[in-house]
């Protein structure tokens, strides 16, 4: 790894972007296919997908082992790999999630890759971008407003204001809005009730946008969302309120994927960013489809590690979108493997071969999972400057011994050039693999308990699942309403294969406890919560926002 003293934003600002019209032209898109949003961003019209003369490319999923709290550099690896594939002559398009705006003001650092593997223009992507999240915020709050207005105006649907599931959202880390009371101030100002705000990425509308086929399908999915129960405990859907049409209109531009570029001018389609816990954590289906349509290779990612990201990518997104990955890249760092081998955070910089070997078990478990899906994979060893030669050699040997293809990569420090070896080996795997062995983990028609059991035993390596009394009651209710024949969306800590974040490596002899179910009937999955999931973050003691500003020439400083 090269030792660079430039920050992400310095590298980004020094980059020479091509006009987005050049990027689009290189993809053989004509002017009806896209609309410029400034000189370096565009919205792609869904007509891009209508060209039947183009054959779909190969889908590559980038995922990871269970990460440290700093993450394994999955997005950076995805960006770098796409650059590397283009360098070795494979026309490649990247598909990524779009970041939330709110968290930028808390901790320094954006969500658009890093070092020499970034997507640009990174300030725009991390701020308002093309307004997709604002549109989701608006559609979400429009529905909330219509619910409260319905009750205020006579409550024809008999909605029980104590049983409204639909909260409000803002794209802001605003803990003070987690639990609120609204409708105060007297008879002209609504009906008092308890409520709360989530961050926009946690909205079911975000999940729906990322699974919709087109605007009409989006409208239909919005219609199916569960929003409340009546005083007789009957479910109330968006369709009962007739709100789906206006909401879909609000989202008419947001449904279009966004085209930008990487530091090396690789086309990047960035669209949708649902939470990786209470939702499936992947960019939009439309973005992935477009990347497949426009590239020989389409590189995409899924949030968290294989146990959460890849499993949900396959069992939710691939199933709904009839996608099939050609190969999976599992990002691993020596740091994180040592952590899984029992090393404390402050000692991760020190060579520790025994810990590395012990922690390797975590990677092995994920390899077994991917073999279970019938998917070829390669381990991408994401190099850090403190990795020792002995450590790298040991990890290579461990992979070799277990028959796991691997490659070192330093795309952070070297950009695409640092990922060429990975790209070559990946292409070899993809093009050498003639057998279609891909399969989902479970059948959606299985019972919820069976589906959960397979996830826990075959992906997490646990003994089975336990339901709390609340979850059992909710399961009975879901079965009674016929909501149980949907894929499961696990909400679990990403830091462990188990539901206990302190259990590193490859835990055994554990059960996973499902505390609560939340049916996302519009998105079309059942969320199974195994712990507390915070859907509205807060700001730290010294928020990054306080160090941002404009210098005397009007140049921005302090953002990332």
Subset of residues 165 to 204 that bind a copy of itself, contact rule: CB under 8 A:
168, 170-185, 188-191
| Cα 123 off chain centre by | 20
Give the number of residues in contact with a copy of itself, rule: CB under 8 A: 78
Q: Are 268 and 119 in contact (CB under 8 A)?
A: yes
Task: State the minimum distance, in angstroms, from the CB of residue 221 to a copy of itself.
Answer: 13
Site string for a copy of itself, 267-286 (x = CB under 8 A): --------------------
Interface pattern 284-313 for a copy of itself (x via CB under 8 A): ------------------------------
Which of positions 128-147 make contact with a copy of itself (CB under 8 A)? 128, 131, 134-135, 137-138, 141-142, 144-146
The minimum distance between CB 231 and a copy of itself, in angstroms, equals 19
CB of residue 531 to a copy of itself, shortest distance in Å: 15
412 included as an active-site residue: yes
CA dihedral (76, 79, 82, 87) in degrees, to 10, reads -90
C-alpha separations of 144 from 57, 116, 161, 165, 200 in Å? 41, 42, 12, 10, 13
Which one of the spans 84-92, 150-158, 366-374, 520-528 is the region binding a copy of itself (CB under 8 A)?
150-158
**What is the token pair recorded at 70?**
């700093």
Choose the catalytic residue: 377, 412, 510, 525: 412
129 is an active site residue: no
Spot the catalytic one: 43, 90, 97, 492. Answer: 97
What residue numbers does the annotated binding site cover? 68-75
Least gap, CB of 224 to a copy of itself (angstroms): 15
Q: Alpha-carbon distance 246 to 368, whole Å?
A: 46
Transcribe 117-163 into DSSP letters.
EEEESHHHHHTTTTSHHHHHHHHHHHHHHHHHHHHHTT-TT-EEEEE
Is 219 near a copy of itself (CB under 8 A)?
A: yes
User: What is the Cα–Cα distance from 47 to 56, expressed in whole angstroms?
Assistant: 15
Q: Identify which range of 50-58, 113-121, 123-131, 495-503 contacts a copy of itself by CB under 8 A.
A: 123-131
From the annotation, which residues make up the binding site for ATP? 68-75
* Contacts to a copy of itself from residues 450-479, by CB under 8 A: none
Cα–Cα distance for residue pair 426/378, rounded to 1 Å = 7
Question: Has 230 been annotated as catalytic?
Answer: no
Backbone angles phi, psi at 88, to 5 degrees: -95, 15
Among 95, 139, 276, 409, the active-site one is 276
Among positions 253, 421, 458, 500, the unique one binding a copy of itself when judged by CB under 8 A: 253
Neighbouring CB atoms inside 10 A of 117's CB total: 33
CA distances from 553 to 301, 474, 544, 549, 557 (A): 39, 59, 21, 11, 11
State the minimum distance, in angstroms, from the CB of residue 383 to a copy of itself.
Answer: 34
Q: Name the helix (H) or strand (E) containing 413.
A: helix 411-414
Please say if 384 is a catalytic residue: yes
Provide the annotated active-site residues: 74, 76, 97, 108, 276, 304, 384, 412
């Amino acid at each position: 790894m090269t030792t660079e003293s430039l920050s992400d934003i310095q590298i980004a600002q020094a980059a020479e972007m091509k006009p987005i019209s050049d990027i689009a032209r290189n993809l053989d898109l004509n002017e009806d296919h896209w609309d410029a949003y400034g000189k370096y961003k565009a919205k792609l019209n869904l007509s891009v997908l209508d060209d039947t003369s183009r054959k779909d490319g190969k889908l590559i999923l980038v995922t990871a082992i269970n990460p440290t709290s700093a993450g394994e550099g999955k997005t950076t690896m995805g960006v770098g790999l796409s650059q590397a594939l283009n360098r070795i002559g494979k026309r490649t398009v990247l598909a990524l999630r779009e970041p939330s705006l709110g968290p930028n003001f808390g901790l320094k650092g954006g969500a658009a890759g890093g070092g020499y593997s970034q997507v640009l223009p990174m300030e725009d992507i991390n701020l308002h971008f093309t307004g997709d999240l604002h549109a989701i915020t608006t559609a979400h709050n429009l529905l909330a407003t219509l619910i409260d207005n319905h009750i205020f105006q006579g409550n024809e649907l008999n909605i029980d204001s104590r049983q409204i599931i639909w909260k409000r959202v803002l794209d802001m880390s605003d803990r003070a809005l987690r639990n609120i009371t609204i409708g105060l101030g007297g008879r002209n100002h609504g009906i008092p009730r308890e409520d709360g705000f989530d961050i926009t990425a946690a909205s079911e509308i975000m999940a729906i946008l990322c699974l919709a086929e087109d605007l009409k399908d989006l409208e239909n999915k919005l219609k199916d969302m569960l929003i409340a129960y009546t005083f007789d405990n009957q479910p109330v859907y968006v369709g009962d309120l007739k709100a789906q049409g206006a909401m879909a209109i609000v989202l008419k531009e947001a449904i279009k994927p966004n085209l930008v570029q990487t530091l090396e001018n690789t086309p990047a389609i960035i669209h949708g960013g649902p939470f990786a816990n209470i939702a499936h954590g992947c960019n939009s289906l439309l973005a992935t489809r477009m990347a497949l349509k426009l590239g020989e290779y389409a590189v995409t990612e899924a949030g968290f590690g294989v146990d959460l990201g890849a499993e949900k990518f396959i069992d939710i997104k691939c199933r709904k979108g009839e996608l099939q990955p050609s190969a999976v890249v599992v990002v691993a760092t020596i740091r994180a493997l040592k952590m899984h081998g029992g090393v404390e955070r402050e000692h991760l910089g020190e060579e520790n071969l025994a810990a590395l070997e012990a922690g390797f078990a975590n990677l092995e478990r994920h390899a077994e999972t991917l073999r279970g899906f019938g998917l070829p994979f390669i381990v991408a060893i994401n190099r850090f400057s403190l990795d020792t030669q002995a450590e790298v050699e040991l990890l290579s040997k461990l992979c070799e011994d277990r028959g796991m293809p691997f490659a070192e990569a330093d795309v952070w420090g070297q950009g695409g050039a640092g990922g060429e070896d990975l790209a070559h080996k990946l292409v070899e795997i993809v093009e050498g693999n003639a057998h279609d062995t891909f399969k989902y983990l479970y059948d959606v028609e299985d019972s919820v308990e069976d589906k959960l059991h397979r996830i826990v035993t075959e992906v997490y390596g646990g003994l089975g699942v336990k339901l709390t009394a609340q979850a059992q009651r909710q399961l009975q209710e879901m079965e009674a309403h016929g909501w149980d024949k949907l894929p499961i969306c696990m909400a679990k800590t990403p830091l462990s294969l188990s539901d206990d974040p302190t259990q590193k490596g490859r835990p055994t002899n554990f059960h996973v406890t499902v505390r609560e179910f939340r049916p996302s009937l519009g998105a079309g999955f059942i969320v199974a919560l195994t712990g507390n999931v915070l859907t509205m973050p807060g700001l730290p003691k010294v928020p990054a926002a306080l160090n941002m500003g404009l210098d005397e020439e009007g140049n921005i400083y302090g953002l990332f």
